[in-house]
Chains A and B, each alone.
Chain A
Amino acid sequence: MKNLIYVVFGMIFGIILTKSEVVSWFRIQNMFHFVEPHMYLIIGSAVVVGAVSMQMVRRMKLKSIDGEELVIKGKPFHKGFIIGGIIFGIGWAITGACPGPIFAQIGAGEYPALFTLAGALAGAFLYHSTKSKLPH
């Protein structure tokens, strides 16, 4: 039952992603072709609101509703952030989906996205199989 809350949060996130059409291949194409500012404005305003609200959360030393210390951790940089980031960007432009939207496209009935998901699982497996040989 405690996992139900994650499903609920996922549903809210899925509705926002789908209704704002950031899960659309067409919107991603328009973003990379600089045809419309829609995607840039969404990401930009999300980051501004996220950054201001997270600053407030930190300054006010808020705790979780269970009374725990909030876990806010950054990720230590390595070369993969650049190399893997570029590889992901190419995949994003091809599939019109980053990880969240892959699940959203499937839910919205765009069944070819199942192939994107299968590829993504294979890609994650491939990364873990080759991890020790990759520059980090």
Chain B
Amino acid sequence: MHWIFEPWNWYIAGPLIGFFVPTLLIVTNKMLGISSSFEHLCMILLPKEKHPMFNFNWKDSGWKVYFSGGIMIGAYVAATFLSSSKVHFLPEQYYSWSGYATLFAGGILVGFGTRYANGCTSGHAIFGLSILQSSSLKATVSFFIGGLLYTFIAHYIF
């Protein structure tokens, strides 16, 4: 069982994520997705009358706040009890004020982009593609166009 404590191979993790989709659906009748938790967190953090633009059906996304909290706890468990050695997920340069500013700016793009695209890697790339939605395929291809384009430009400029 010692593989549990090493980084998991793709052929373990990929199918587990795939099975997660119907399991979540059958047990809770919810479609996998995370990015609308951002809107819901905004609703919790800001007084309601301050942002009348939030007139979407935000009650539907309440479960995602609990789900996101669970992800945090799960990640803590994985990093603390299920890892044989400390694994770093962010590079050292992000542990600085310029790093925080970069992450904040990148975070704005993540929040704005996923809400504009009505979904993220979970909602479109995993769930949407699993139910064979062409709109989710277009979104997923766009995610990669953006990421590859930025990587290419950053590689040749910086």
Contact, CB under 8 Å: A15 / B77: yes
Chain B contact-residue range equals 35 or more
- Chain B residues near A118: list those with CB within 8 A: 104, 107
Interface size on A, residues (CB 8 A): 110
Contact, CB under 8 Å: A123 / B112: yes
Given A19-B78, A41-B10, answer yes or no on A68-B147 (Cβ-Cβ < 8 Å): no
Contact, CB under 8 Å: A80 / B118: yes
Contact, CB under 8 Å: A75 / B133: yes
Within 8 A of B (CB), among A38-62: 38, 41-54, 56-57, 62
Instruction: Name B's A-contacting residues (CB within 8 A).
Output: 4, 7-8, 10-22, 24-31, 34-35, 37-39, 41-42, 45-46, 51, 53-54, 56, 63-64, 66-79, 82-83, 87-91, 94-95, 99-136, 138-151, 154-155
- 5 A/B residue pairs, CB under 8 Å, sorted by A: A18-B75, A84-B112, A87-B109, A88-B113, A116-B107
Q: Identify 8 new A-B residue pairs, CB closer than 8 A, beyond the known A26-B89, A124-B114.
A: A10-B71, A11-B74, A15-B75, A20-B10, A37-B10, A85-B113, A87-B109, A95-B103
Instruction: Name A's B-contacting residues (CB within 8 A).
Output: 3-26, 28-29, 31-33, 37-38, 41-54, 56-57, 62, 64-66, 68, 70-78, 80-100, 102-110, 112-113, 115-129, 131, 134
